[in-house]
Structure 1
Amino acid sequence: MRELVYTGFMSLDGVVDSPGATSEGHRGGGWVMDTEFVPEAFSLKGEELAETTALLFGRRSYEAFAAVWPDSEDHSAYKELPKYVASSTLGEDALVDGWGPTTILRSSADVAALKAEDGGAIFIHGSAELARNLADADLIDRYNLLVFPVLLGAGKSLFSRADRDRLRLHLRESATYGNGVAKLVYDVKR
């Protein structure tokens, strides 16, 4: 069985959208860029490269990343990896050429089937709505979070507010950095 990992930047109040720009339309966008850059605070991103065997996106995040990552030197290690897009509306004609094999998954059942296959870790970048839905379906296995010292008040939350059974997490790894960023890596306990 493959591990499904959500990785992302998050504000202290749980917002995961618009870390680098104001694309979500609230005034709090760009909050990662407002934090002093400390290289070791971002070392988790480099560590993830060694583990990533596939990427999973929601439609909106796929469209945003596909416009930038295929030609980005910082993301060149991801170029040929298999990519999956969870979308009920995206057509095959909207997939980006030259960015590795890409498969559209139409449901959380399709994601569950992908997880059941042999292979390594699948990482979800961005895709807050997808991550919430997959967490509610008990499909997320780990959270790799960089929590930034900012409260935004508006924006998309990573976690659902649905009334659900309690989900326990096990802290695998943590660190704090001089710029106030905290690394929190949690395994979902089952």
Structure 2
Amino acid sequence: MRDLVYTGFMSLDGVVDSPGGPQEGHRSGGWVFKDLEFVPEAWSLKGEELADTTALMFGRRSYEAFAPFWPGSEDHAGYKDLPKYVVSSSLSDDALVDDWGPITILRSTEDVAALKETDGGAIFIHGSGELARRLSDAGLIDRYNLLVFPVLLGAGKSLFGRADRDKYMLSLRESQSYGNGILKLVYDVAR
């Protein structure tokens, strides 16, 4: 069975919306890079993840945002040839980019559950807050790798849903705080 890991940037109030820039839709877009001293070690989690990543997963919107840039990005070169999965009921095969390794479209949460049952290593979800919420509500996420930023955004897409469901516990695997206020939090979902 493969682990499904959500990795992302989150505000202290749980918002994952538009960390990279205003073009992503949030009025405070780009909050990851604004008004914060750059501390290189705060970004070490991203490098550490590469060793564990055997495949990537995206929702349609995140795929459409990353696909034009990541295939040629030096920062993401380690991901280039890895298998990628896009969870979408509307994306067509002809919308997939070339030269970015094998890309498979999954049409449902059930398809994701079936993929988890296959052999192989960890699959990492980048961005894709809505997909992560849906998969979390379905009990399919195994770990959260979070960089929590010292900012309150108030509104925006949240990583966690508000559905009335049974609680589940998280087990802290690793944590670190940095001088600029960023927290690294790595949680396993207790099963």
TM-score w.r.t. length of structure 1: 0.99
CA contact (8 A) 2:17 2:26 kept: no
| Map of 2:62 onto structure 1 | 61
Q: Contact (CA 8 Å) 2:8, 2:146: kept in 1 or not?
A: yes
Q: Which moved more, 1:149-158 or 1:23-32?
A: 23-32
- Does the CA contact (< 8 Å) of 1:24 and 1:155 recur in 2? no
CA distance in 1 between counterparts of 2:147 and 2:63 reads 21
Q: Residue 166 of structure 1 aligns to which amino acid in structure 2?
A: K
1:185 corresponding residue in structure 2: 186
Q: Alignment partner of 1:23: what SS?
A: helix
Q: Where does residue 50 of structure 2 map in the other structure? A: 49
Residue-by-residue CA offset, 1:117-174 (whole Å, 9 max, x unaligned): 0100000000000000000000000000000000001211000000010010000000
Mapped pair 1:96 → 2:135: no
**Large movers: runs of 4+ above 3 Å:** none
Unpaired runs of at least 5, structure 1: none
Displacement of 1:25: 2.7
Displacement of 1:67 after TM fit?
1.1
Instruction: Name the residue aligned to 1:12.
Output: 12
Q: How does 1:134-153 map to 2 (within 5 A)?
A: 134-153=135-154
Q: Distance in 2 between matches of 1:78 and 1:28?
A: 28
In 2: Cα distance, 1:23 partner to 1:88 partner: 24
Partner of 2:170: 169
Structure 2 counterpart of 1:10, one-letter code: M
* Residue 2, structure 1, aligned to residue 25, structure 2: no
Instruction: Give the whole-Å Cα distance in 1 for the aligned partners of 2:26 and 2:89.
Output: 26
Task: Give the deviation of 1:26 after TM superposition.
Answer: 2.7
Where do residues 113-132 of structure 1 align in structure 2 (5 Å cutoff)? 113-132=114-133
SS at structure 1 position matched to 2:14: coil
Offset of 1:24 from its aligned partner? 3.6
What code does the residue aligned with 2:17 have? D
State the distance in 2 between where 1:158 and 1:26 align: 15
The aligned residue for residue 75 of structure 1 is: 76
Where in structure 2 are there 5+ consecutive unaligned residues? none
3-state secondary structure, aligned to 2:164: coil
Question: Structure 1 CA distance, aligned partners of 2:24 and 2:98?
Answer: 26
Given the alignment of the two structures, is residue 32 of structure 1 paired with residue 41 of structure 2, yes or no?
A: no
Q: Report how many residues are paired.
A: 190
Q: Percent identity?
A: 78
Greater CA deviation, 58-67 or 28-37? 28-37
Taking the aligned partners of 2:16 and 2:23, their CA distance within structure 1 comes to 12
Please say if residues 9 and 147 of structure 2, whose CA atoms lie closer than 8 Å, have aligned partners that are also in contact.
yes
CA RMSD of aligned residues (A): 0.6
TM-score between both structures, scaled by the size of structure 2? 0.98
For residue 28 of structure 1, report the CA deviation from its aligned partner: 1.3
